[in-house]
Amino acid sequence: MMKVSVEHKIHLYLSVINYKKMSQFVSADEAVKLIRSGDRVFVHGSAATPSLLLDALAKRSPELREVELVAISMLGNQEIAKPIYRESFYFNSLFVSATIREAVSDGRGDYIPIFLSEISRLFEKKLLPLDVALIHVSAPDKHGFCSMGVSVDVVKSAAKYAKKLIAQVNPNMPRTHGDGFIHVSRFDALVECTDSLPEVSYSSQLTEEDLTIGRNIASLVEDRSTLQLGIGSIPDAALKAMGHCKDLGIHTEMFSDGVMDLIKQGVVTNAYKKKHPGKVVSGFTIGSKELYAFLDDNPQFAFLEASYVNDTRVIRANSKVVAINSAIEVDITGQVCADSIGTYQYSGVGGQMDFIRGAALSDGGKPIIALVSATKKGVSKIVPEIKSGAGVVTTRAHMHYLVTEFGTAYLYGKNLRQRAYEILKVSHPNHRESLEKIIVKRFGTRMHPVH
């Protein structure tokens, strides 16, 4: 298997060499000259962040002003995000990743709250018209088609509606199946790139609390369930605890190495999914070099557009959908803050609500919000009220399951008083007394039965 994979990569690399004869192949410095002051530029995100092009763009800062950069997320310590480029570049972000949090916080950027399923509509309807798109693709095949690789999500739409397309072409980008193919003739400029893709390991960061939460989540997962996994360590901890399950399916906005491990164990088969049986469906992935190699030309995976993957109607078509998502804090009525710490924008809405609702409407589905009950400093993440200025991503009306290291609270159909006492049970023991006093003051102690 490994020999075939290497030969395949050599073949693709030779394809790049052949295409270098075409006039579109230029240096990164030359390619980004297509960008002008005042342009709105889409940037391919996650593990497909086009760092070579971004570095070249940063070097043009003395001659550029007010270039707007639009992206879902960018990985790596990007030069272009430094304060010295304040006058040249502005980050108008669809999801605030670690790379640009400082820029958004100090006024060099801002955040657009929007569901992942609806981002493509911004480009299509010209609500966010794009002048240029910077994307990162695989080497072209013998027919001239490149793959958007590990991130298709909204990139297909951005590439369709941008006036100009600049691509860094990389033999290290896996050729993935699905919606992400684009012909080399579509590009206004091509740049050769041989950089390794950025790697992220959530499994190496797992704490004992994460692992306990993972086991609590796994206990809710039935055989033949279809899983959605949010970003972070808790979804990976849950996957680690699902070795006992049978015939699981994956339909998710993103995934990491844990899915690969369960496929190799025979736990994930996708055999009983109603939508795309036999295939892992996703919009993007972030993981290890081993995962990227596993994806390369692997027909078990379908990387599709987020407007489809995250469509509630598509999600609910599968039965037993289990949506596993994290939170920053949850209040005693079940309101979920997942994107901000007070007024500080930490991440974004993403696809949490798309899948929480889709799972709730699925036959036998289970929408789950999971979090460690307290911060490393001992501050409770289960709070009387969401912090002033923070955003509610998932409303209390959408909440079914809340999971912490202390168990599972089931909230669906319960009134505010009942919810508060249910949530109290899974809060950190160090904070239960103070939380209970607030609950008693707000709701009293009498528990009215619900008929």
Looking at the annotation, which residues are catalytic?
253
Q: What letter would DSSP give residue 249?
A: E
Coil/strand/helix, residue 228: strand
Give dist(CA 37, CA 64) in Å, integer.
5
> Phi, psi (5° rounding) for residue 151?
-145, 105
Buried b (16+ CB within 10 A) or exposed e, 373-398: bbeeeeebbbbbebbeebbebbebeb
The answer to whether the beta carbons of residues 325 and 230 sit under 8 Å apart is yes
Give dist(CA 338, CA 142) in Å, integer.
44
Tokens 């950069």 map to which residue?
69
Q: What letter would DSSP give residue 259?
A: H
Give dist(CA 132, CA 236) in Å, integer.
35
> Phi, psi (5° rounding) for residue 33?
-70, -15
E strand segments, 266-350: 280-282, 284-285, 301-303, 321-326, 329-331, 336-337, 340-341, 344-345
Q: What token pair was written down for 446? A: 């009498």
Cβ of 198: how many Cβ atoms within 10 Å? 16
Q: What letter would DSSP give residue 207?
A: -
The answer to whether the beta carbons of residues 45 and 72 sit under 8 Å apart is yes
Q: Give the CA distances from residue 154 to residues 71, 122, 178, 190, 232, in Å, rounded to whole numbers and listed in that order.
A: 10, 10, 13, 20, 21
Strand 340-341 vs strand 344-345: parallel, antiparallel, or unpaired? antiparallel
